Amino acid sequence: MSTRQFEQTVDVETPELVVLTYSLAGVGSRVLAALTDLLICILAFVALIVAIVALGPRSALSFDSSASWALAILGLAQFAILWGYYVLFEGLMDGQTPGKRIHRLRVVREGGYSITLGVSAVRNLVRIIDMQPGLLYLVGIISLLVTKRSRRVGDIVAGTIVVREDTGPRRAPLRGKREMAGSARPLQTALSEDQYAVLSRFVERWSALQPLRRAALAEQLAVRFAAAMPNDARPAGPRLLELHEAERRARILGVAARGDVGAGRERQALIAAGQPRWATFGARLALAQQSGLRALGEDGVRDFVSEYRALSADMARLRTASRGRALDEMFLLGRLVAGAHNLLYRDRGLGLRGALRFLFTDVPREVRRSAAPIALAGLLLFGPAVIAGVGVARSPALAARLLPTGMLQRAEDGVRRARFGEGYIDDPQLLRPVMASRILTNNVQVTFAVFAGGITGGLLSVFMLVLNGISMGSVVGLYASKGIAALLFAFVAPHGVLELFAICVAGGGAFLMAAGLILPGRRARASALVENSRRAVRLIACSTLLLIVAGTLEGFVSPIEWWPIEAKLAVSGVTLVLLIAYLRGGRRPERAAPGTPLGAPATLALATVKSPRVT
């Protein structure tokens, strides 16, 4: 009887027709891993601050351009740590952040395959929903508790699960193997499997029990197992421990349990014959997980693949021989096969060429393909903007209801600035790097939130788009009512085309996700959500790329006061032309091998690959 029988598990059928059993990570282990990752992020950020302070100016009075760039880098680093840490580590370290690695957890796709960088991005961008309210992660924790496979919202959207990678209970070394092998081996053990399971549970709880309770239980078990125990004057406890050790050694050596016939004897024989090979394979697997398959060498990889096949066969035979009984050996073997399966069926890394192809071929193609949801996002952004702008231009008093006090004061100051030929805002050139970094990170985070809102059926995304549209239109209407619209347009022109289009693209990604949730068509709802989300992450990649350029322009070019509006409109025109050229990329049809779907994961040719089945 396995000591792991109370763990929540999920079965996955591999291409070799072997059913792998993964142990799902519980709330406790995931929270520990999350706290470990959070501590690492905090330490990284503190170390960065210390480094910048050490290298920066010695006093506030000596603030110069280097200090401005240092603050800008600090802001970008904070953003990178907050969002890039999880996406990059899980995407590039085969589903493990440092925290998950320490606590022996791994993110895998539902079919047992390793996750890709795109899957990691989907999973972690939706983290903005999981962490609500605030940073308490109550949404994520509740989702872990109520979903069938202990998944947070990000896992549901990305089609992933978090599994444990421990290799089962550790056994003490078999010191008496030679002595027992040299003597006559008994035909069967003294205890049946059910009796041995009861005794094993008692031994495992030995140190946790109160002395009086432990002694009472030992006496009860001694009466039950009297025929099998040494008959001497020692207390019941030591005699039970001796019986358990003898029974454990006998099972490792392949002695059939009492009452076992046929399949039971075959089970013990399989365990006895296979354990040395399994131990050797486990050491090789640990090396491959730590350093990659290349660390094994060409011959080592060939042997690894051969052993993987052999262990898959052992697991299938042991499952049949166990007759549904949960075994610690089955658990151990399952971990080994599952770990090897994840390594051998890992997707190839993007590499530089793959990354460029993704950004300049796959992403533009997806933007064109998703024109309808992007257009819907544009309608929800610009429709309310036009209505609010016209309303405020005709009735300026509405601005006080639609805009914050700071924006109203900026408009009043804009009248004076326009009269004296000044720009939309003050342009302290020393602070341009800081402005650019703040604008960039804020805008990207807003589009991440719009994208993540797709999991709410698009309701949160609709709210954010309409709210931003009303705010944007109200500002334009307010400036128009004061006759200073040119002041605003001169500031917005250089970056406006890219920034506004990026918001629409992010909204399109949200609605693509929402469509999978609400209108799955002939697909299963869960499958439609996962497929559409993996498409949507390409739109977020486009949005992020455009916002990086737009934020740079807004921080360095848009505030320049002495540039005439014609020059800034020329920059706007150039960005429009470049955007159109970018979106026309990837028009050539893909050529794939016959019968190979585009974007299929790279798998090792171990057997004929079939779609994995999650049971």
Dist. CA 74–CA 596, nearest whole Å: 45
Question: Do residue 128 and residue 231 come from a single domain?
Answer: no
At residue 510, the pLDDT reads 96
Six token digits for residue 158? 């990305």
At residue 350, the pLDDT reads 66
Dist. CA 119–CA 156, nearest whole Å: 11
pLDDT along the chain (615 residues), means of 10: 56 70 84 93 90 66 68 87 91 89 88 83 92 85 88 92 67 43 55 79 84 86 80 81 81 60 60 78 82 81 86 78 63 77 71 85 94 96 96 93 90 87 72 82 90 93 95 94 90 93 96 94 92 94 94 88 89 95 75 41 37 37
Six token digits for residue 283? 């050491």
Q: Which amino acid, one-letter code, is at 184?
A: A
At residue 597, the pLDDT reads 38
At residue 593, the pLDDT reads 42
Question: Which one of 110, 132, 166 terminates a domain?
Answer: 166
Question: Do residue 130 and residue 228 come from a single domain?
Answer: no
Residue 278, classified by CB atoms within 10 Å of its CB into exposed (0-12), middle (13-18) or buried (19+), is buried
At residue 63, the pLDDT reads 56
Question: Do residue 486 and residue 516 come from a single domain?
Answer: yes
Question: Do residue 218 and residue 133 come from a single domain?
Answer: no
At residue 180, the pLDDT reads 43
Dist. CA 125–CA 147, nearest whole Å: 20
Question: Do residue 495 and residue 390 come from a single domain?
Answer: yes
Among positive and negative, which fits the CA dihedral 120, 123, 124, 125? Answer: positive
Among positive and negative, which fits the CA dihedral 188, 194, 199, 204? Answer: positive
Question: Do residue 488 and residue 511 come from a single domain?
Answer: yes
Question: Do residue 24 and residue 123 come from a single domain?
Answer: yes
Domain-located, residue 237? yes
Q: What domain range is 153 assigned to?
A: 9-166
Domain-located, residue 191? yes
pLDDT 10s digits, 31-85: 999 999 999 999 999 998 888 777 665 554 455 677 778 888 888 888 899 889 9
At residue 183, the pLDDT reads 46
Domain-located, residue 278? no
Q: Rounded to 10 degrees, what is the CA torsion of 246, 247, 248, 251?
A: 120
Dist. CA 241–CA 218, nearest whole Å: 10
Q: What is the pTM of this model?
A: 0.74
Question: Do residue 65 and residue 147 come from a single domain?
Answer: yes
pLDDT 10s digits, 151-175: 999 999 999 999 887 654 444 444 4
At residue 454, the pLDDT reads 93
Per the CB < 8 A criterion, the answer to whether 158 and 17 are in contact is no
Domain-located, residue 72? yes
Domain count, the chain: 3
Question: Do residue 511 and residue 572 come from a single domain?
Answer: yes
Domain-located, residue 513? yes
At residue 176, the pLDDT reads 43
Question: Do residue 80 and residue 182 come from a single domain?
Answer: no
Question: Do residue 160 and residue 29 come from a single domain?
Answer: yes
- DSSP string for 49-83: HHHHHHHS-SSGGG--HHHHHHHHHHHHHHHIIII
Question: Which one of 235, 252, 269 terminates a domain?
Answer: 252
At residue 310, the pLDDT reads 85
Question: Do residue 97 and residue 236 come from a single domain?
Answer: no
